[in-house]
Structure 1
Amino acid sequence: MNSFRSILTAPLRAFSELKLLGVLLAANLCIALIQSLPVLMPAIGRFGHSLSGQGRPFPSPEAVFDFSKLLAQGGGPFLAGPVVLGIVFSFGLQLVLAGGIVSRLCSPGRFSLASFARDCAAQLGRNLRLLGWALLGLLPVVGLVVLATVLFSRAEKPTLFTLEGQHWALDNPFTFWSLTHLALVVVLFALWRSSFDLARVQLYAEDQRKTRLAAWRALKRMVRSPGALLGYIAVGLLGLAMVMVFARLHAAVQVTSAGKAWLALLVAQLVVIARLGFSLATTAFTVDVYRAMAAPVSLPAPVPAAAPILAPASEANAAEPTHAPADMQTVQPEQRAIGDDAGRS
């Protein structure tokens, strides 16, 4: 597998699925609307449809002050409820859409909403069982991170998780030892996450029902392929950089009018699209890993039988090649075909 090539082609494959990105963006907007309803409904009831007020600048200082008091009156549950609601809906939606996302990235041809929904429903049960094995596999990862943090602390070496607040404000927290510890944490988490993504690809491609075997096989594959693991980390870091760039662009938009408020909302959707696109890119990268893992080993070409020395030329040219014995032929397991990247939305 050419990991460097997949680092470039996986994001291109992900962002070429415009219809799939549109479905995911619409689902994300629905979750955001549900999450904000506990805040929007009291605000609309108090201030109407606009916080600017009649004949006042945008945003109105009086309306913002009154809205702050309204939030304070709600107390902790008023603020914590939308956050918990958004986390629950986002996590549940990710599980529901996982099967359709994998099937789309594995299949050529055009995007079909009906096929996408059918694959989401068909793979939901297996993805739920696989999630249980993934959470179980997360325990040793967390244990190794905690053990490494304790060893660094006893050796009096700083880590980003043990630094005090004033050290972040007055000194440089990024030292050799803190970056080493951070790299260890990133590698362990990427190993767990990439194995989880690769196992989901295997469940769809091979129509496999034993999720435990899929999880174990994916973990062994990623451990034995350090290049694939580093490529997966590179795609994730590239996505993090792009999200930070768009987030910085969103922060630069100063909301001084209703038009700029809508502009800030549109730029915020660019941040969401970048996050969704590179989430698809990591899955597309594991599809490339599976293709390299499932590629059949090519057998050498059969050698023609040697013609008799005294045979005429016509008989020598008519000699047929000998076939390899049946017990030497490799029989590949029947798998669901995964198309190449020729298909585009």
Structure 2
Amino acid sequence: LTPAETSGFTSASLTRDQIGVYSHLLNIIGQRLALDPSASITVAGYGSNAGPEQGNRELSRARAEAVKSYLTSTWNVDPARIKTRGGLLPDQPANSSTPEGRIENQRVEITASTPSILEPVEFRDKDLIVSPPVIAVGSALRQQDDVTSWNLVLEQAGRLLYSAKGDGLPENVSWDASKAADKPRKSDPIIARIRVRNNRGENVEASDTVAVDYVTLQTMRARQEEGKLVERYSLIVFDFNSAQLNPANQRTMDRVKARIQPESRVRIVGYADKSGNPEYNRNLARKRCLEVQKVLGLSDDRVTLEPVGSDRLIYENETPEGRSYSRTVQIELVTPIR
């Protein structure tokens, strides 16, 4: 960002993709420092400590100074609030024997005097479940031999949900609302309109409606109906080849633990980056799942563990940040709503 663009920056406008959030990491920190003048940070730069970087603390320090320069020049953070230092290898280095590991060690690490400066970005989205999900539309024409084309639209309160058209007789159309980008958002009925045209240029239109019962958590409680609240947490990152939670993750786990209710069901899915063989990575992912289960204080009958490892990479692994974010667990809480 430029200094002029910082006034329009908000973390709420970021994409839900973690790599996209990562690309704005310094802007998130810069904004939080601007909002909390009492906070300070330390930026530690590191290198691969191999080849031209062996023993080169000055290069490591220069990396830290580059971060400081961005925060001071772009976000107008007082330089006195940012300390820098340079080291050889990080305290928890990646595998220095591989090119990928050496690249990952060429990084900076930031610590803060106030934990809120480095808190994960939290998004609160509402999932919409459509039941039944499919609307089927058909037509019955008395005179069919002269129909040349047809056009169908599904609308709700003037908002287009779906459209289809074709030549000849109208086809029976099925619309799966659960997979659609535009879903019903209100209790207004869905109106299906079909228009057919004959070979003389004459148009005939017919319509029908489908009632919609739009239910929120609040209305479910008022009706005493059962539903479920689903919460997902995915920013719990482990160090290379480690199943131990670091202090920053411990704070995140405390927040997750506070959200678990006695009737909640918990699913923990563990992942690894592509380093190492698949069997080793599955075992490492299982250890990460077990570590999270232990910290959350959950008995075996309340949790499902899924150690995926590197069998399914959730981020591309050609970049250091992609490999880092792949060393994770994802936690899903499902709590009944009554």
Calculate the TM-score normalised by the size of structure 2: 0.25
Calculate the TM-score normalised by the size of structure 1: 0.24
Higher helix share: 1
- Bigger RCO (CA 8 Å, 6+ sep): 1
